[in-house]
Structure formats: C-alpha cells, structure tokens
Amino acid sequence: MPGASAVARRPVLPGFVRATLGFLRSQPFAIAGLAIYLLFIVMAIFADQIATHDPREILFRGAYRVARYLPPSATHYLGTTAGGRDVFSQLVHGSRSALKVGVTAAFFVVVIGTLLGLLSGYLGGWVDRVIMRISDIILGLPFLPFVLVISALTRPGTTTLVASVALMLWPNTARVIRSQVLSLRERGWVEAARVTGCSTPRIIFVHIAPQVAPLAALYGSIAVGWAILTEASASFLGFGDPAAISWGLMLQDAFANQALSRGVWSWFVPPGICIVLLVLAGFLVSRGSEKLLFPKLGD
C-alpha cells in the first residue's frame, strides 16, 4: 500500500516544511523559479569540478599559437574567446559572481528597506518624514547613471556595485513595508501588546516584523534580479571589477572583440541566457508568492 508509508511519514515533517511543499505543488511558476535557482547554486558550488579549463588560462594550440575564436568542440563546449580562454569554463565560474552580487545586494535591500519601513510606519512623526523624504530623493536619482558615477568616483568593483544597488533599491521595499505597518499597527493585538507593557522595539521587531517578512522576501527576490542586471550593465560599460569572471564582463569582452561581426554566437549568446534565466527565476518566485500574499490579485 503506497498510501500507508506516506501517512506514516507525514507527522515527521515539521509544519512549515509541509506548508511549503503544499504551496509549491499549487505554484508551478514558483517551482520553476526555485529549480532554476537550484541549478545555478549547484553550478556555483561545483564550478571547479564542472568547468573543463581554468577560466583565466590562456590556451594554446601547437607551438605558441593562442587558441583564439575556436568553434565549439568536444574539448571546448562553447569554443574559446578572442584571448584564447575557454567560454564554457568562464560561463560556469560566472555563476559565482552573479549569485554573490545578487544575494548580497538583495540581503541589504531587504534588511535596510524592512528596518526603515518598520520604523517609519510604526513611529511616524519626524522619523517617518525624514525617511520618506530621503526615499523621495533617491527615487529622483536615475538608477544606472548613479551607479556608474559612484563606481567612477570611488573604486570600481563588486563592493561598490552592491552598495550602490542596495542604496538605490531600499526605498521601494521601505515604502511597501511602511504602508503595511500603518495598517498593522491599528490592529487589536498590537494594541494589546502595548497595553500589557511591551516595549516599542519589542512590538516592532517581535510582533510586527514577522508579519511583513513575506512581503520583504518578495521584494528581495526581485532585487536579486535587479542587482544581477545592474552588475551586467555596469560591467558591460567598463565599470565592473576587471579581475572578476562575470557574465557581464564576458559580454563586454565579446562585444569589444568583434564577436558580433564575426558571428561567434557561442560566445555571446550563452552568458545572456544565463542572466535571463537567473533574473527570470526571481520573477517566477515572486509571481508565485504574490498569489500567496495577495490572493485577490492572483490570476
């Protein structure tokens, strides 16, 4: 009886795991998104094992002839670059920097945005006014030009990119969290906590924060995509970390070395597909969780 073992096993699963599994079964979009994330995480962890060559190594064929623009083959799955490096190995290692940029930027967007949104919404008054005015100003700054100017005026690199992406994106999260908190703070249980003598920090972080966590996570999954797209664009324009191996830099390398006019599709198409998939995964996950968060909106 196949059913019996399932029934016997079920109580072992903690409640939240079961809830997550149930949610996933009803959300094909979210499953697809998570599967893509998983694929790239595996790729990043085992990059050294999956890659066929050292992504930085200049390869030679025969005596002192750099292996430039080699077509895809059994040894070079996606051919080689103008500098004689293996495209496939660069692609695999590029997943590391993409995930690093995406996840750290999203982390800071969520933390800063949630924190300021909570304070702004719950405390109100001048705290609210100051935070909202700052977010107004940031929304008046053009996104990519600002990132470029910051990168140019400081040291270009991954840290600068992540910091400026976090700086530019927190207001969206903060505003949404704030409006959520504005309605939550009027609820009875918050009033009850206040009456029983809970301190303000305790009400904010213990009682209200968990309620807005799913919303924050939704904005985080979108921020992952934004950060990766921004890193790619900045790298493409020459404001990335030149020592890193990233998909944006691969595309810049290909563009600058006439990959387009030479028709080396195997060089400039795969990095773009990887970016699309990873950003798309964030959209899919957030679309899926949107249904959970705002059932009315669902399609």
Partner 1 sequence: MKRFGARILHAAFVLWAVATLTFLLFRLMPGDPTLNFLSDSFSEEMRADLLQSFGLDKPLPEQYLIYLTSLLRGDLGVSFLQKRPVLDILMAALPNTAALTITALVIAYVFGIIAGAFLAFARGTVTEGIAIPAALITRAAPEFWLGMLLLSWLSFAWGIFPSGGANVAGSEFTSEWARMTSPDFLWHLVLPALTLALYLQGLPLLLMRATMLEVLNDEFIVMARMKGLSRWAIVMRHAARNALLPVATAFALGLGSSFGGNVVIETVFSWPGLGRVLVSAVQGADYPLAQGAFIMIAAVLVLMNMVADLLYAWLDPRVSVGARR
Which residues of this protein are in contact with partner 1, per CB under 8 A?
A: 133, 136-137, 139-146, 148-150, 152-154, 175, 225, 229, 232-233, 236-238, 248, 251, 254-255, 259-261, 263, 265, 268-269, 271-272, 275-277, 279-280, 283-284, 287, 297, 299
Residue closer to partner 1, measured from CB, 117 or 271: 271
Residue closer to partner 1, measured from CB, 131 or 203: 131
In whole angstroms, what is the distance from residue 157 CA to residue 173 CA?
25
DSSP class of residue 74 equals S
Sign of CA dihedral 83, 88, 94, 98: positive
Helix ranges (H only) for 154-246 are 158-184, 188-195, 200-202, 209-236
Please list, in sequence order, all residues whose beta carbon lies within 8 angstroms of the beta carbon of residue 27, skipping any fewer than 6 positions away: 288, 289, 291, 292
Residue closer to partner 1, measured from CB, 203 or 215: 215
Least CB distance to partner 1 at residue 47 (A): 22
Least CB distance to partner 1 at residue 233 (A): 5
Q: In the chain, how many H helices and how many E strands?
A: 14, 2
Least CB distance to partner 1 at residue 46 (A): 25
Least CB distance to partner 1 at residue 135 (A): 9
Least CB distance to partner 1 at residue 286 (A): 11
Least CB distance to partner 1 at residue 227 (A): 12
In whole angstroms, what is the distance from residue 125 CA to residue 261 CA?
59
User: Among candidates 102, 106, 142, 98, which has minimal Cα distance to 272?
Assistant: 98
Residue closer to partner 1, measured from CB, 112 or 277: 277
Residue closer to partner 1, measured from CB, 216 or 232: 232
Residue closer to partner 1, measured from CB, 91 or 148: 148
Buried b (16+ CB within 10 A) or exposed e, 233-267: bbbbeebbbeebbbbbbbbbbbeebebeeeebebb
Q: With contact defined as beta carbons under 8 Å apart, do 118 and 81 qualify?
A: no
